[in-house]
Chains A and B, each alone.
Chain A
Protein backbone atom coordinates (compact mmCIF):
# COMPACT_ATOMS: atom_id res chain seq x y z
CA UNK A 1 0.00 0.00 0.00
CA UNK A 2 1.66 3.21 -1.16
CA UNK A 3 1.72 6.30 1.04
CA UNK A 4 1.26 9.91 -0.06
CA UNK A 5 5.01 10.33 -0.54
CA UNK A 6 5.20 7.46 -3.05
CA UNK A 7 1.99 7.74 -5.09
CA UNK A 8 -0.21 10.47 -3.63
CA UNK A 9 -3.17 10.01 -6.01
CA UNK A 10 -3.27 6.26 -5.47
CA UNK A 11 -3.23 6.78 -1.72
CA UNK A 12 -5.96 9.39 -2.02
CA UNK A 13 -8.10 6.98 -4.08
CA UNK A 14 -7.65 4.34 -1.39
CA UNK A 15 -8.94 6.57 1.40
CA UNK A 16 -11.81 8.11 -0.53
CA UNK A 17 -14.58 5.90 0.87
CA UNK A 18 -13.53 6.08 4.54
CA UNK A 19 -12.95 9.83 4.07
CA UNK A 20 -16.48 10.39 2.74
CA UNK A 21 -17.88 8.04 5.41
CA UNK A 22 -16.10 10.20 8.01
CA UNK A 23 -14.32 7.31 9.67
CA UNK A 24 -10.71 8.43 9.16
CA UNK A 25 -8.63 9.70 12.06
CA UNK A 26 -7.98 13.46 12.28
CA UNK A 27 -4.41 12.90 11.08
CA UNK A 28 -5.58 10.88 8.05
CA UNK A 29 -8.21 13.53 7.21
CA UNK A 30 -5.54 16.24 7.37
CA UNK A 31 -3.27 14.24 5.02
CA UNK A 32 -6.09 13.64 2.54
CA UNK A 33 -7.16 17.29 2.59
CA UNK A 34 -3.60 18.46 2.17
CA UNK A 35 -3.39 16.43 -1.03
CA UNK A 36 -6.90 17.34 -2.25
CA UNK A 37 -6.17 21.05 -1.87
CA UNK A 38 -3.46 20.83 -4.51
CA UNK A 39 -4.75 18.03 -6.75
CA UNK A 40 -7.66 18.87 -9.06
CA UNK A 41 -7.59 15.30 -10.43
CA UNK A 42 -8.47 13.73 -7.07
CA UNK A 43 -10.73 16.60 -5.95
CA UNK A 44 -12.92 16.11 -9.06
CA UNK A 45 -13.21 12.40 -8.37
CA UNK A 46 -14.19 13.01 -4.75
CA UNK A 47 -16.91 15.46 -5.82
CA UNK A 48 -18.14 12.95 -8.38
CA UNK A 49 -18.39 10.25 -5.70
CA UNK A 50 -20.55 12.51 -3.55
CA UNK A 51 -22.94 13.27 -6.37
CA UNK A 52 -23.01 9.58 -7.33
CA UNK A 53 -24.01 8.60 -3.79
CA UNK A 54 -26.85 11.15 -3.80
CA UNK A 55 -27.97 9.92 -7.20
CA UNK A 56 -27.96 6.25 -6.16
CA UNK A 57 -30.08 7.08 -3.13
CA UNK A 58 -32.54 9.07 -5.22
CA UNK A 59 -32.86 6.31 -7.84
CA UNK A 60 -33.53 3.68 -5.19
CA UNK A 61 -36.23 5.62 -3.41
CA UNK A 62 -39.20 3.47 -4.38
CA UNK A 63 -42.48 4.16 -2.63
CA UNK A 64 -44.27 1.37 -0.84
CA UNK A 65 -47.48 0.35 -2.65
CA UNK A 66 -50.49 1.69 -0.66
CA UNK A 67 -52.16 -1.76 -0.65
CA UNK A 68 -49.16 -3.16 1.20
CA UNK A 69 -49.61 -0.62 3.97
CA UNK A 70 -53.19 -1.83 4.41
CA UNK A 71 -52.09 -5.46 4.41
CA UNK A 72 -49.55 -4.73 7.13
CA UNK A 73 -52.10 -2.90 9.26
CA UNK A 74 -54.37 -5.94 8.92
CA UNK A 75 -51.65 -8.10 10.52
CA UNK A 76 -52.02 -6.24 13.82
CA UNK A 77 -53.31 -8.13 16.82
CA UNK A 78 -57.04 -7.49 17.17
CA UNK A 79 -57.89 -5.60 20.33
Chain B
Protein backbone atom coordinates (compact mmCIF):
# COMPACT_ATOMS: atom_id res chain seq x y z
CA UNK B 1 0.00 0.00 0.00
CA UNK B 2 1.41 3.36 -0.98
CA UNK B 3 2.31 5.77 1.74
CA UNK B 4 0.13 8.85 1.86
CA UNK B 5 1.81 12.23 2.07
CA UNK B 6 0.83 12.50 5.70
CA UNK B 7 2.25 9.07 6.61
CA UNK B 8 5.50 9.86 4.90
CA UNK B 9 5.82 13.20 6.67
CA UNK B 10 5.24 11.45 10.01
CA UNK B 11 7.84 8.77 9.23
CA UNK B 12 10.43 11.35 8.23
CA UNK B 13 9.78 13.36 11.40
CA UNK B 14 10.12 10.25 13.62
CA UNK B 15 13.35 9.27 11.95
CA UNK B 16 14.78 12.78 12.39
CA UNK B 17 13.88 12.69 16.08
CA UNK B 18 15.53 9.28 16.54
CA UNK B 19 18.64 10.46 14.77
CA UNK B 20 18.92 13.60 16.88
CA UNK B 21 18.52 11.52 20.04
CA UNK B 22 21.17 9.07 18.85
CA UNK B 23 23.63 11.86 18.08
CA UNK B 24 23.08 13.51 21.45
CA UNK B 25 23.55 10.26 23.33
CA UNK B 26 26.71 9.47 21.36
CA UNK B 27 28.18 12.93 21.99
CA UNK B 28 27.48 12.64 25.70
CA UNK B 29 29.82 9.61 25.73
CA UNK B 30 32.65 11.36 23.90
CA UNK B 31 34.74 11.97 27.03
CA UNK B 32 34.70 8.29 27.90
CA UNK B 33 35.40 7.24 24.31
CA UNK B 34 38.35 9.63 24.16
CA UNK B 35 39.81 8.38 27.44
CA UNK B 36 39.96 4.83 26.08
CA UNK B 37 41.18 5.96 22.63
CA UNK B 38 43.98 7.98 24.17
CA UNK B 39 45.49 4.85 25.75
CA UNK B 40 45.00 2.63 22.70
CA UNK B 41 47.26 4.81 20.53
CA UNK B 42 50.55 6.55 21.22
CA UNK B 43 49.83 10.21 20.67
CA UNK B 44 47.12 12.71 21.45
CA UNK B 45 46.84 13.60 17.76
CA UNK B 46 46.22 9.98 16.77
CA UNK B 47 43.59 9.69 19.50
CA UNK B 48 41.80 12.83 18.29
CA UNK B 49 41.80 11.62 14.67
CA UNK B 50 40.55 8.22 15.68
CA UNK B 51 37.70 9.63 17.76
CA UNK B 52 36.67 11.99 14.95
CA UNK B 53 36.68 9.17 12.42
CA UNK B 54 34.67 7.03 14.81
CA UNK B 55 31.99 9.68 15.26
CA UNK B 56 31.82 10.43 11.53
CA UNK B 57 31.20 6.75 10.88
CA UNK B 58 28.76 6.38 13.78
CA UNK B 59 26.67 9.33 12.59
CA UNK B 60 26.57 7.87 9.08
CA UNK B 61 25.54 4.39 10.16
CA UNK B 62 23.38 5.25 13.18
CA UNK B 63 20.54 3.10 11.82
CA UNK B 64 22.56 -0.05 12.48
CA UNK B 65 22.64 0.69 16.22
CA UNK B 66 19.95 -1.20 18.15
CA UNK B 67 18.35 1.18 20.65
CA UNK B 68 18.50 -0.09 24.21
CA UNK B 69 21.86 -1.84 23.71
CA UNK B 70 25.21 -0.54 24.95
CA UNK B 71 26.01 2.52 22.86
CA UNK B 72 29.42 3.06 24.45
CA UNK B 73 30.45 -0.49 23.50
CA UNK B 74 29.05 0.05 19.98
CA UNK B 75 31.17 3.19 19.55
CA UNK B 76 34.28 1.46 20.89
CA UNK B 77 33.75 -1.40 18.48
CA UNK B 78 33.85 1.06 15.57
CA UNK B 79 36.90 2.71 17.09
CA UNK B 80 38.92 -0.46 17.62
CA UNK B 81 38.07 -1.66 14.10
CA UNK B 82 39.25 1.63 12.62
CA UNK B 83 42.39 1.43 14.70
CA UNK B 84 43.16 -2.06 13.39
CA UNK B 85 42.34 -0.97 9.81
CA UNK B 86 44.92 1.75 10.14
CA UNK B 87 47.49 -1.00 10.05
CA UNK B 88 48.92 -0.43 13.47
CA UNK B 89 49.62 -4.17 13.71
CA UNK B 90 52.36 -3.81 11.14
CA UNK B 91 54.42 -1.92 13.69
CA UNK B 92 54.78 -5.04 15.68
CA UNK B 93 57.27 -7.80 15.15
CA UNK B 94 55.27 -10.98 14.50
CA UNK B 95 57.23 -13.15 16.90
CA UNK B 96 57.36 -10.65 19.72
CA UNK B 97 57.03 -12.44 23.02
CA UNK B 98 56.43 -10.04 25.89
CA UNK B 99 58.28 -10.75 29.09
CA UNK B 100 56.01 -11.64 31.90
CA UNK B 101 56.41 -12.35 35.59
CA UNK B 102 54.00 -13.41 38.32
CA UNK B 103 51.39 -11.16 39.89
CA UNK B 104 53.48 -10.48 43.00
CA UNK B 105 56.57 -9.45 41.01
CA UNK B 106 56.13 -5.66 41.15
CA UNK B 107 55.37 -5.59 44.86
CA UNK B 108 58.36 -7.82 45.59
CA UNK B 109 60.57 -5.48 43.58
CA UNK B 110 59.28 -2.43 45.43
CA UNK B 111 59.82 -4.16 48.75
CA UNK B 112 63.37 -5.13 47.85
CA UNK B 113 64.21 -1.57 46.88
CA UNK B 114 62.93 -0.19 50.17
CA UNK B 115 65.76 0.41 52.58
CA UNK B 116 64.28 -0.93 55.79
CA UNK B 117 62.11 -3.50 53.98
CA UNK B 118 59.09 -1.96 55.64
CA UNK B 119 56.53 -1.19 52.96
CA UNK B 120 53.12 0.41 53.35
CA UNK B 121 51.23 -1.50 50.67
CA UNK B 122 48.55 1.17 50.33
CA UNK B 123 51.05 3.99 49.76
CA UNK B 124 53.89 2.33 47.91
CA UNK B 125 52.20 3.06 44.55
CA UNK B 126 53.03 6.70 45.19
CA UNK B 127 56.61 5.82 44.30
CA UNK B 128 55.39 5.36 40.75
CA UNK B 129 54.67 8.47 38.69
CA UNK B 130 51.97 9.11 36.13
CA UNK B 131 54.69 9.00 33.47
CA UNK B 132 55.75 5.56 34.71
CA UNK B 133 52.20 4.26 34.38
CA UNK B 134 51.56 5.79 30.95
CA UNK B 135 54.98 4.66 29.67
CA UNK B 136 54.59 1.14 31.04
CA UNK B 137 51.14 0.78 29.50
CA UNK B 138 52.49 1.93 26.14
CA UNK B 139 55.11 -0.83 26.47
CA UNK B 140 52.46 -3.56 26.65
CA UNK B 141 51.94 -5.16 23.18
CA UNK B 142 48.70 -4.09 21.45
CA UNK B 143 46.74 -7.33 21.75
CA UNK B 144 47.16 -7.33 25.52
CA UNK B 145 46.94 -3.57 25.95
CA UNK B 146 43.58 -3.30 24.15
CA UNK B 147 41.97 -5.60 26.70
CA UNK B 148 43.61 -3.99 29.73
CA UNK B 149 42.56 -0.52 28.53
CA UNK B 150 38.95 -1.57 27.84
CA UNK B 151 38.49 -3.37 31.17
CA UNK B 152 40.67 -1.44 33.63
CA UNK B 153 40.36 2.07 32.20
CA UNK B 154 37.15 1.87 30.15
CA UNK B 155 35.30 -0.16 32.81
CA UNK B 156 33.93 -2.60 30.26
CA UNK B 157 32.91 -6.09 31.35
CA UNK B 158 34.72 -9.14 29.94
CA UNK B 159 31.64 -9.74 27.81
CA UNK B 160 31.65 -6.19 26.38
CA UNK B 161 35.38 -6.40 25.67
CA UNK B 162 34.84 -9.72 23.85
CA UNK B 163 32.18 -8.13 21.62
CA UNK B 164 34.14 -4.96 20.99
CA UNK B 165 37.28 -6.86 19.94
CA UNK B 166 35.37 -9.75 18.37
CA UNK B 167 37.30 -12.40 20.30
CA UNK B 168 36.08 -15.18 22.64
CA UNK B 169 35.62 -14.30 26.30
CA UNK B 170 38.28 -16.84 27.29
CA UNK B 171 40.76 -14.93 25.14
CA UNK B 172 39.73 -11.68 26.84
CA UNK B 173 40.47 -13.21 30.23
CA UNK B 174 43.83 -14.68 29.30
CA UNK B 175 44.97 -11.49 27.54
CA UNK B 176 43.76 -9.36 30.43
CA UNK B 177 45.60 -11.43 33.02
CA UNK B 178 48.77 -11.61 30.98
CA UNK B 179 48.50 -7.95 29.99
CA UNK B 180 48.32 -6.84 33.62
CA UNK B 181 51.34 -8.98 34.46
CA UNK B 182 53.29 -7.50 31.56
CA UNK B 183 52.26 -4.02 32.76
CA UNK B 184 53.57 -4.78 36.24
CA UNK B 185 56.82 -6.09 34.88
CA UNK B 186 57.19 -2.92 32.79
CA UNK B 187 56.53 -0.89 35.93
CA UNK B 188 59.08 -2.88 37.90
CA UNK B 189 61.67 -1.88 35.29
CA UNK B 190 60.83 1.75 35.97
CA UNK B 191 61.02 1.66 39.74
CA UNK B 192 64.03 3.16 41.36
CA UNK B 193 65.59 2.90 44.76
CA UNK B 194 63.71 4.76 47.43
CA UNK B 195 65.32 8.12 48.07
Contacts and interface: CB of A to CB of B under 8 A. Distances in A.
Contacts, number: 101
A48 B59 CA distance: 43
Contact of A52 (B20, B35, B125): B125
Interface string A40-61: 0000110111011101110111
A60 B51 contact: no
Interface residues of B, number: 44
B35 A62 contact: yes
Interface in A49-79: 49, 51-53, 55-57, 59-65, 68-69, 71-73, 75-77, 79
A23 B174 CA distance: 13
Interface of B: 16, 19-20, 23, 27, 30-31, 34-35, 38-39, 44, 48, 51-52, 55-56, 59, 102-104, 106-107, 119, 121-125, 128, 130, 133-134, 137, 149, 152-153, 158, 173, 176-177, 180, 183-184
